[in-house]
Structure 1
Amino acid sequence: MDIISTLPLNIIETILCFLPIQDAARTSILSREWRYHWIKIPKLSFIEETFQVSTDSDELSDTGNQEMIKKRKLFDAIDHILQLHEDPIHEFTLSMVTEGTPQDFDCMMFLMLHRNTIKKLKLEFVPGYTFHLGVFASHPLTDLHLVGCSLYSEPLFEGFANLSSLYIQDVTASKETLLLILSGCPLLKNATLDIDYLTYPENDDSTVINLFEYLTMVENLTLRFGIFEYFALDDIPQKLSIALVHLKYLCLKDICFIHSCGLLIIALLIKNSPNLEKLKLEILDDSWVEIYERRDLFTLEDDSNIWLEHLNELEIVNMIYRDVELDFVKLILAKSPALKKVRILLYNEVAKDEELQISEIFKQCSHASSVVDVVVEGIRGSCTSSRCVM
């Protein structure tokens, strides 16, 4: 008995969505009934590493053209599949591992986006791809994931009116383009700006305030600290013009506590996020920071305006056994009455005895929460835990 063919159509489509697109297409030979199932699935995924492209031996005789020929045939195959596809496509993924962009890539993407009701788009490239934002003109995307490309804005681009989730990693763009994207996302709820390189004109004086004024609706935010280097940091205010009242999860990657603006940025964010529930900090190896870059550190301990009423979880990765990091954790413990869990993953050069000392320091310091678990983990897998019951 053919049990799988008796399954509801939506179940069959779900199963096909988990298959590589070539395997899904091969199901068309199973029977007349299965011939058209694959062209109706709402989710398409093209992964270059797993995509098999047939090539003639003559075409591959010139090794310099091998990758270009394979890429050309891959894009031809994608275009062919898109033309055969009948029902709406709601999610599209393309992952490339070789360099170079076919000249008609933007055209193919433009036609695909405007022929389908795609909601989620995931594009992953190696650095070097150029992507024009005009391709997205007037398209109702809700989820956009971009990795490893260069972004350019055009007059046709008017923003993402329906976008709720944005993920950008290893992307090259101007500050103007980045701010243009964020300003055109009024419904943005989840944002990951995992970039540390931006181009900008010499006379550009936009500040971190200009960045955060476009993130006021975000609930989950991940930022790489390097992004702040491209904004004017001479006068970081203590208060934003509009508080981040919707922000519940904040992750700062490659944060440097001894950087001249490290604590200033952290203070600005936690003081203006009254409903923050989880804070995660990934500390950068700051041996590169020169002595002349270090100036009088902003002391969080002296700021009575900090009160994290809703914070229930703190996680710090690569913590160093140093007063500035220890004082920060002690401050959070003293200012977070709802805190339940603190997880500290130590830097790999922290010794076992120092690990025990850190755990003891946090156990003895003041806690605003009646019950909080503080877990300190060494790089060697060791773990010390203390629970404070007030």
Structure 2
Amino acid sequence: MIQCPAMNAQQRLLLDGTVSTLPSDIIENILWRLPTKEIVRTSILSKEWRYNWTKIPKVVFIERLFDKLTDENQLPLTGERRNTRRRCKFFNAIYQFLLVHQGPIVDFTFSTMPLVQYGHCVEIDQILLNLSRKNNVRKLCFSSLCELPSSIFSFHQLTHLYLSRCRINHLPTFNGFGSLTNLCLGYIEYIPKRTLMHILSNNRLLKSFTILLQLTSGNNIAVHDGEYGTFNELFQCLPVIQHLTLCVWDIQYFYTGAVPREVVTTLVHLKYLSLEEMCLYENDWFRFLLLILRSSPNLEKLKLGRISEEERWKYDFNDDIDSVTMQDGLDIWLEHLIELDFAYFDGKKPDLDFVKLILAKSPILKKVILRVYDEDESLKLLEALLPSSCASPTVEIFGYWEN
């Protein structure tokens, strides 16, 4: 926070002269690093800075950081009424800011606190609609417990879109953003499979795609809506993908039936793959791992995270896991893989066999990181892997205890 203590006339003159002579690129650099509220407060630094904040291209509005009502201690408001008053003040501040703002806005972050879960909010829709008319926002971060406003799809110049906590329903008229390269769906409460595929198929320039779905016991429908596609259809929607992160505990959210051994479409540009909350107590997950490794010939970094033991016992998974063998991955060759990072590694035979497979099929592998539950397990795992046949002569294996 910028604070301006009492100053005499000479000090004010010195500050005014010093601040005002800063190069414009330094001024812009300073403003980019400040919260929106503090950007506005820089208007008191000098008369030349009075309207600099109206041209800053990065804007952040986060409701939980917004000031509480100054009179809330004096007014006999209930918790719900207090939250409503705060939200009205929050929205009004955004309206006023956008009304006065003069320059282009290329980076906009908007986050609200829960009030009415997953309902349609007219105020949010109007804010985004007015912002979209500027037609110059490149990066949009939106987080709110509500139905995703349709005005989101009016930002045709977007290159980066980050959505979290909202519900996304089918939008058959959506024709894509045109320039979108980065899409993150973070802990989305609900999104039908047809909607997900529709969004992906209309944004075929994606270089980075992340989808994080919270682990549930069936209370939330999440992606699963009874309509399935194939891995070919999924991969075809991501023809130039370089960075892929999937956090979906049930692989059948993407496909039902037998996992194929290979697909027609390969992820030739994929360099970073992260699979989190994997249910490695299911054979389909091992088959999917092998499938995606066969389909990613230029993969450089692989990050894996299984569902934890704590979460595992909440769900009815099969225990008859088949071990991954060298024969299963005989046709896999990861000639560009540099690093494997495996979280919640339990050291059981399926996990060990999979790591041994990676060691044998990665000629330039530099680092293997195994994050285990038990501190004493680290040394045992290293001893178990030392006799393994390693294709890379320079690989290092690290064991970490995750408490």
TM-score by length of 2: 0.86
Pair 160,249 (structure 1): closer, same or farther in 2 beyond 3 Å: same
Q: Is the 8 A contact 2:250 2:278 kept in 1?
A: no
Closer, same or farther in 2 for the Cα pair 1:291/1:97, shift >3 Å? closer
Deviation at 1:227, TM superposition (A): 5.4
CA distance in 1, matches of 2:76, 2:29: 37
Deviations 1:87-129 (A, max 9, x none): 101100112223236422112201102224110011122xx31
Q: 1:227 to 1:91 in 2, by over 3 A?
A: farther
> Judging changes above 3 Å, is the alpha-carbon distance between structure 1 residues 279 and 199 closer, same or farther for their aligned structure 2 residues?
closer
State the secondary structure of the residue aligned to 1:65: helix
* Cα distance in 2 for residues equivalent to 1:291 and 1:150: 27
1:228: Cα distance to partner? 2.4
- Hey, what's the Cα distance between the residues in 1 that align with 2:243 and 2:236? 15
Tell me the C-alpha RMSD between the 2 structures: 2.2
- 1:108 is matched with 127
CA contact (8 A) 1:311 1:336 kept: yes
Partner of 1:176: 194
Residue 75 of structure 1 corresponds to which residue in structure 2?
Answer: 91
The aligned amino acid for 1:104 is: E
The corresponding residue for 2:238 is 215
Change (3 A) 1:351 1:70: closer
- Would the aligned equivalents of 1:72 and 1:102 in 2 still touch at CA under 8 Å? no
The 3-state SS of whatever aligns with 1:146 is strand
Deviation of the 1:166 alpha carbon: 0.8
Give the unaligned 5+ runs of structure 2.
1-13, 215-220
Displacement over 6 Å in runs of 4+: 289-292
With over 3 angstroms needed to count, the CA separation of the structure-2 counterparts of 1:102 and 1:77, relative to structure 1, is: farther
**Corresponding position of 1:98:** 114
How far did residue 239 of structure 1 move? 1.2
**Contact map agreement 2:281 2:321 (CA 8 A) in 1:** no
> How many aligned positions are there?
374
**C-alpha separation in 2, matches of 1:309 and 1:150:** 40
Equivalent residue for 2:350?
324
Q: List per-residue Cα deviations over 1:189-228 (Å, max 9, x = no partner).
A: 01111125525544x2323333222123110111013252
Alignment of 1:163-242 (within 5 A): 163-171=180-188, 172-196=190-214, 198-202=222-226, 204-226=227-249, 228-242=251-265
TM-score normalized by structure 1?
Answer: 0.89
Equivalence map 1:350-365=2 (5 Å): 350=374, 352=376, 354-365=377-388
Partner amino acid for 2:292? Answer: L
Structure with the higher fraction of residues in strand conformation: 1
Aligned to 2:170: 153
- Taking only the aligned residue pairs, the percentage that are identical comes to 36
Distance 1:296 1:289, change over 3 A: farther
**CA 296–378 in structure 1, closer or farther in 2 if over 3 Å, else same:** closer
Distance between the aligned counterparts of 2:168 and 2:212, measured in 1?
14
Deviates more, 1:281-290 or 1:271-280: 281-290
Say yes or no: does 1:248 pair with 2:271: yes
Which of residues 332, 348, 356 is equivalent to 1:306? 332
Q: Could you say what secondary structure the match of 2:232 adopts? A: helix
Q: 2:151, 2:172 → 1: CA distance?
A: 7
**2:10 — aligned with what?**
none
Q: Residue 34 and residue 60 in structure 1: after superposition, are their counterparts in 2 closer, same or farther (change >3 A)?
A: farther
**Deviations for 1:300-345, whole angstroms, at most 9, x for unmatched residues?**
4213111111101111111002000011111100110011111111
Secondary structure of the residue aligned to 1:97 is: coil
* Deviates most, 278-287 or 268-277: 278-287
The amino acid that maps onto 2:304 is L
Q: In 1, distance between residues paired with 2:59 and 2:122?
A: 22
Q: Measure the CA separation in 2 of the matches of 1:33 and 1:149.
A: 41
Q: How far 1:351 sits from its partner (Å)?
A: 5.3
Whole-Å separation in 2 of the counterparts to 1:292 and 1:17: 48
SS in 2 for 1:261: helix
Within 1, Cα distance between the matches of 2:233 and 2:99?
43
Contact 1:208 1:233 in 2 (8 A): no
Structure 1 unaligned residues grouped into runs of 5+: 381-390
In structure 2, what is the Cα distance between the partners aligned to 1:199 and 1:82? 35
Whether 2:161 is the aligned partner of 1:136: answer: no
Mean Cα deviation higher: 290-299 or 156-165: 290-299
Moved more, 335-344 or 283-292: 283-292
Provide the C-alpha distance between the structure 2 equivalents of 1:4 and 1:32, rounded to a whole number of angstroms: 10
Counterpart secondary structure, 1:215: coil
Residue 305 of structure 1 aligns to a residue whose secondary structure is: coil
Letter in structure 2 aligned against 1:310? H
In the superposition, relative to structure 1, how do residues 277 and 63 fare at CA in structure 2: closer, same or farther (>3 Å)? Answer: closer
- 1:167 is displaced (CA, Å) by 1.0
* Of 18, 23, 29, the match for 2:38: 23
Distance 1:281 1:168 in 2: 19
